[in-house]
């Protein structure tokens, strides 16, 4: 499903906005339409109130509660936009647009492997809730961790951190090799080096992988070509460019040229 251009900015009520780890915030927003339409792996554009920050910030949907019209986002404070979001409180309102992007294509597999890194972890929670069959989750962080208990409700979880502060010291893909991965498909979201390793691993195992790209974005709605990535294609040059915000953010790993 590609982005629907008929969607417009909506004002949403903030139910809560709490720091859940160092500089990582969990915000619950009431917005029935977004909650109703959302699928795992999609994102919303979150708008700043400050006029000096016109461009929206894309943030993945971490959890969705259709019955109550709630969506949860989990974000790391990295710059002025996310800093502004962290100052918002329950009862405040925030403008959002969504849900955007294609999301994961949930396959009816017996065993799925889920691999997340840093702020690529949040969209995988709603995915894990919705996946059929057995699920094994591998999460990697620089230091510390977040959302682990939430994932443990639905799957076996393995953690790696760069500094060894939680779980195994090292990269999440090294941990996967150590634990041993067996499954029919990999779903992944995280930083580029991790996605490259996941793509290679899927090729070695000869299984499919869907990867969600965390490209820098401008408009977030397909209008500025600020987010293009190279995708294999049957053209003279062997590839074409696609927009991560509109055609993605989830792509078949086999198609992505890093
Ligand atoms: C599809 C998608 C989903 C994302 N989901 C999450 C999430 O769930 N949690 C989370 O913490 N972060 C997520 N990010 C990254 C998040 O969008 C950036 O951290 C955020 O936009 C930074 O804004 P800032 O104003 O704080 O930082 P600044 O660096 O000041 O941002 C300046 C500009 O660059 C853009 N920008 C900066 N970094 C990124 C980035 N990594 N990706 C896209 N645009 C960027 C901003 O949108 C803004 O227009 C996601 C990014 C994408 C593309
Ligand atoms: S961010 Fe503008 S086209 Fe994707």
The reported pLDDT for the residue numbered 2 is 45
Does ligand 1 come within 6 angstroms of the Cβ of 147? no
Cβ neighbours for 92, distance < 8 A, ≥ 6 positions apart: 14
Q: 45: which strand partners? A: 58, 97
How many Å separate Cα 13 from the centre of its chain? 22
DSSP states of 56-101 as a string?
A: -EEEE--EEETTTTEEEEEEE--SHHHHHHHT--TT-EEEEEEEES
Q: Which of 9, 8, 13 is nearest to 93 (CA)?
A: 13
Q: How far apart are CA 201 and CA 7, in angstroms?
A: 37
Contacts 24+ apart (CB under 8 A), 229-237: 229/256, 229/257, 230/256, 230/257, 231/255, 231/256, 231/257, 232/256, 232/257
Mutational test site, ligand 1, from 189, 217, 228, max ligand atoms within 8 Å of CB? 217
Which pLDDT value is given to residue 241? 95
Is 257 within 8 Å of 235 (Cβ atoms)? no
Ligand 1, closest atom to CA 78? 26
Atom of ligand 2 nearest to the CA of 218: 1
Grouping H, G, I as helix, E, B as strand and the rest as coil, residue 211 is strand
Dihedral of alpha carbons 156, 161, 164, 165, sign: negative
Question: Alpha-carbon torsion 78, 119, 57, 213, what sign?
Answer: positive
Ligand nearest to the backbone CA of 213: 1
pLDDT of the residue at 214: 82
Ligand 2: residue of 46, 227, 249 to mutate (most ligand atoms within 8 A of CB) is 227
Residue 60 and residue 147: Cα distance in Å, rounded?
14
The end-to-end CA distance of the chain, in Å, is 23
DSSP states along 127-186: HHHH--SEEEEEEEESSS--SHHHHHTTSEEEEEETTSSSSEES-HHHHHHHH----SEE
Cβ(243) to ligand 1 under 6 A? no
Task: Please list every protein residue whose CB sits less than 6 Å from any atom of ligand 2.
Answer: 217-220, 222-227, 243, 245
Residues of the chain with pLDDT under 50: 1-3
- Cα separation, 62 vs 212, whole angstroms: 14
Give distance in angstroms: CA of 112 to centre of ligand 2.
Answer: 30
Which pLDDT score, from 0 to 100, does residue 4 have? 53
CB-count burial class (<10 Å; 0-12, 13-18, 19+) for 61: buried
pLDDT at 1: 42
Please say whether the beta carbons of 227 and 245 come within 8 A: yes
What pLDDT was estimated at residue 5?
Answer: 58
Mutate which of 53, 59, 226, 247 to test ligand 1's pocket (most atoms within 8 Å of Cβ)? 59
CATH number of the 105-212 domain? 3.40.50.80
Domain ranges of the chain: 10-100, 105-212
Q: Which CATH superfamily is domain 10-100 in?
A: Translation factors (2.40.30.10)
pTM above 0.85, yes or no: yes
């Amino acid at each position: 499903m590609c982005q629907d251009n008929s969607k417009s900015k909506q004002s949403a009520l903030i139910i809560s906005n709490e720091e859940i780890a160092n500089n990582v915030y969990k915000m619950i927003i009431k917005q029935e339409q977004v909650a109703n339409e959302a699928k795992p792996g999609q994102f919303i554009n979150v708008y700043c109130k400050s006029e000096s920050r016109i461009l929206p910030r894309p943030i993945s949907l971490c959890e969705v509660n259709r019955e109550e019209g709630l969506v949860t986002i989990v974000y790391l404070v990295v710059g002025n936009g996310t800093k502004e979001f962290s100052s918002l409180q329950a009862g405040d309102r925030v403008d959002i647009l969504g849900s955007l992007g294609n999301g994961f294509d949930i396959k009816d597999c017996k065993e799925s492997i889920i691999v997340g890194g840093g702020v690529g972890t949040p969209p995988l929670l709603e995915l894990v809730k919705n996946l059929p069959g057995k699920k094994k989750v591998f999460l990697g962080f620089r230091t510390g961790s977040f959302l682990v208990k939430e994932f443990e409700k639905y799957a076996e979880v393995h953690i790696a951190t760069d500094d060894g502060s939680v779980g195994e010291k090292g990269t999440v893909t090294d941990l996967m090799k150590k634990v041993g991965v067996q499954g029919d498909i990999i779903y992944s979201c995280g930083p580029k080096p991790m996605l490259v390793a996941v793509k290679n691993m899927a090729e070695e195992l000869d299984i499919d992988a869907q990867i969600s790209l965390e490209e820098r974005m401008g408009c977030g709605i397909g209008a500025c070509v600020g987010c293009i990535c190279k995708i294999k294609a049957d053209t003279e040059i062997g590839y074409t460019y696609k927009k991560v915000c509109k055609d993605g953010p989830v792509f078949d790993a086999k198609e992505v040229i890093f």
